[in-house]
Amino acid sequence: MADESALKGTTAGGEPGPADEASFSALAERHRHELRVHCYRMLGSFTEAEDMVQETLLKAWRNRASFRGRSTFRAWLYKIATNTCLDALSARRARPAAREPGSSPFTEVSWLQPYPDELLDRAAPAEGGPEESAIARETVELAFLATIQHLPPRQRAVLILRDVLGWPAEEASRSLDLSVPAVKSALQRARATLRRVLPERRADWGAATAPSQEERDVLRRYVDASQRADLDGLAALLREDARQTMPPASLVYDGRAAILDLWRPVLTGGQAWGDWISVPLDANRQPAAASYVRMPGEAVHTAVNIDVLRVEDGLVAEITTFGPELLPVFGLPPTR
């Protein structure tokens, strides 16, 4: 197995030695999956996170001679990844405004995308290792991801490094080139925002790494009712105050009645779309399902969307509906 010490030696001319070049790829690949989760938290977009990881590893390779073992190789990569994401965020033309309690965190985060649980699992292959925080449910579920997109980028970075990854303030300050007091101040402000706007029940999830049995039961019923276009069955699964949002559209459907009004013409009556297939998924440590429909006269079912569910007390409290573009990442085809 490649060792970090192999990266520290240089030739007489100051260039990385042969052992460094032979070891770099193996060391970098060991951290690729958790770096992608880190970039995903910073950016909220799976596809952007993929790009940022590639850029991070390229920068690390180009600057590998600068690694002198003053920190771990993992921390050095995280510093590069964090600052690469900050550069990308500074290039964005707009940032969502700070949100208020009761509003939806999703409506102004048009770039938000789901993340397959199978890839989250790859981010922490060794139980109890330093990567384990990368997959804790409370730090990858959609409400958390959408909410932190409303934080100023450096507050977001501080929150992730300190509260998600558990870095000491001194290490976070070195990574971000901030003073320790500045890091502590940014963390205090970020925590206050999260306490004000995140769902209260989120605290019950802890470090769960998979949907609960109750959530899986709800998902099974949701999939079954969706396939049968059973509007009554779906209605029975929704809380009265359920909410549905649809990134990238800034659409919010508040309440069971509003959601059913949205679904009714699609599922029933003369304007119904056709025959439905629903496939269970796991995304962001939450139950999810992919929907396919075969329109009249068509030979195959075509992917329509991905629904990610938040379940409370055995009922669906929130549905975040995404387009089908990321289905290949979940191992599913565009048609069936």
Residue 181 predicted with pLDDT over 90: yes
Instruction: Give residue 83's identity as a one-letter amino acid code.
Output: N
Measured distance CA(79)–CA(49) in Å, rounded: 15
CATH of the domain at 258: 3.10.450.50
Residue 70: CA count within 13 A, CB half-sphere: 9
What was the pLDDT predicted at 197? 80
What was the pLDDT predicted at 17? 40
Q: Worst-scoring range by mean pLDDT, 13-17, 108-112, 294-298, 326-330? A: 13-17
pLDDT tens track for 99-132: 555 566 666 788 999 999 999 999 876 555 666 6
In a shared domain, residues 94 and 230: no
In a shared domain, residues 30 and 90: yes
pLDDT tens track for 128-166: 566 666 677 888 999 899 999 999 999 999 999 999 999
What was the pLDDT predicted at 10? 43
Torsion angle (degrees, nearest 10) of CA 11, 12, 15, 18: -20
Task: Show which of 204, 225, 241 is a domain's final residue.
Answer: 204
Burial 210-249 (b: 16+ CB within 10 A, else e): bbeeebeebbebbbebbbebebeebbebbbeebbbbbbee
Mean pLDDT computed over 5-28 = 57
Mean pLDDT computed over 236-255 = 94
Q: What is the pTM of this model?
A: 0.88
Kindly state the tokens that stand for 310.
Answer: 């938040």
Measured distance CA(325)–CA(167) in Å, rounded: 35
CA-wise closest residue to 38 among 111, 107, 130: 130
In a shared domain, residues 138 and 242: no
In a shared domain, residues 231 and 283: yes
In a shared domain, residues 241 and 194: no
Q: Please name every residue paired with 320 in a beta bridge, in sequence order, or none if there are none.
A: 245, 308
Angle at 71 between CA 28 and CA 4, to 5 degrees: 45
Residue 177 predicted with pLDDT over 60: yes
CA distances from 317 to 138, 145, 147, 246, 260 (A): 16, 17, 17, 15, 14
In a shared domain, residues 322 and 279: yes
Task: Show which of 204, 226, 248 is a domain's final residue.
Answer: 204
| 335: in domain | no
What was the pLDDT predicted at 44? 95
Count of structural domains within the chain = 2
In a shared domain, residues 266 and 308: yes
Residue with tokens 């509260």: 163
CA distances from 290 to 158, 264, 279, 287, 330 (A): 34, 18, 5, 11, 10
**51 Cβ neighbours under 8 A, 6+ residues apart:** none
User: How many Cβ atoms from other residues are within 10 Å of residue 126's Cβ?
Assistant: 8
Mean pLDDT computed over 61-90 = 90
CA distances from 208 to 70, 157, 201, 237 (A): 34, 23, 13, 23
In a shared domain, residues 279 and 141: no
Mean pLDDT computed over 90-104 = 63
Residue 213 predicted with pLDDT over 80: yes
Q: Which domain holds residue 322?
A: 213-330
Query: Strand ranges (DSSP E) for the chain?
Result: 238-246, 249-254, 275-283, 286-294, 302-312, 315-322
CA distances from 287 to 199, 220, 276 (A): 17, 9, 19
Query: Strand ranges (DSSP E) for 191-285?
Result: 238-246, 249-254, 275-283
In a shared domain, residues 161 and 19: yes
User: How many Cβ atoms from other residues are within 10 Å of residue 91's Cβ?
Assistant: 7
| 336: in domain | no
In a shared domain, residues 71 and 189: yes
What was the pLDDT predicted at 79? 95
What was the pLDDT predicted at 202? 60
Residue with tokens 């102004």: 108
Q: Quick one: pLDDT band at residue 13, thresholds 50, 70, 90?
A: very low
Q: Worst-scoring range by mean pLDDT, 130-139, 159-168, 196-205, 315-324? A: 196-205
CATH of the domain at 164: 1.20.140.160
In a shared domain, residues 141 and 249: no
Residue 315 predicted with pLDDT over 70: yes
Three-state DSSP at 100 gives coil
In a shared domain, residues 284 and 326: yes
CA-wise closest residue to 241 among 143, 317, 313: 317
